[in-house]
Amino acid sequence: MKSGKRKTFVVLDIVSVAACALFSAAILLGGDDCKCRRPEKGEETHWGGNEMIVVKEGHSYRRLTGTITMHDGRPLESALVEVFDSPDYLLDESWHGQPHPQKKLAACRTSAGGKFCFRHLSSGVYELRSSIGNGWNVTHVYIEVDTKTGSDKDVQVVMTMGT
């Protein structure tokens, strides 16, 4: 009987260790804080404002998670956030805001807290594009993901109203 109790104790101990490891990983990866929603089928960038905002991030990120906010810092719920390949056209000074052929890799709509997350992208350069609709300028972010040495910080994207 004693050995049966010991085995049960060991099994519970292993289960507890595994549960703690999963919980810790979720906290470290921000697993619980992103509740972005899937966009409607076929939903595309909402071209609504009169300016194209292009931002080039100065460092790489380990993953693409972050927050979309208004110019005053308030989180922007329901913004469409898309990830595209081939972002180099954003750095070409002759580009005049015309659509560029790209492949959309992922998309989501931000949560009530303005959160978005794309956790499983491989290392590379991407365009992170945010849009919401009438009056809002589309924001394009040229961003590098380096899953080994990139920053663990979240990306902060500020959106503005057109003028």
Report the range of poorest mean pLDDT among 36-40, 42-46, 96-100, 137-141.
96-100
3-state secondary structure of 121: coil
Q: What is the pLDDT of residues 61-98, one digit of tens each?
A: 999 999 999 999 999 999 999 999 999 999 988 777 67
Q: How confident is the model at residue 12 (pLDDT cuts 50, 70, 90)?
A: very low
pLDDT at 17 over 60: no
Note the pLDDT of residue 8.
Answer: 33
CB of 128 within 8 A of CB of 81? Answer: yes
Token couple for 116: 């978005």
Q: What is the pLDDT of residues 146-162, one digit of tens each?
A: 999 999 999 999 999 97
pLDDT at 135 over 60: yes
Class of domain 52-159: mainly beta
104-109 vs 80-84, strand pairing mode: antiparallel
Domain boundaries, the chain: 1-32, 52-159
Report CA-CA distances (Å) from 145 to 8, 73, 135, 155: 44, 25, 30, 11
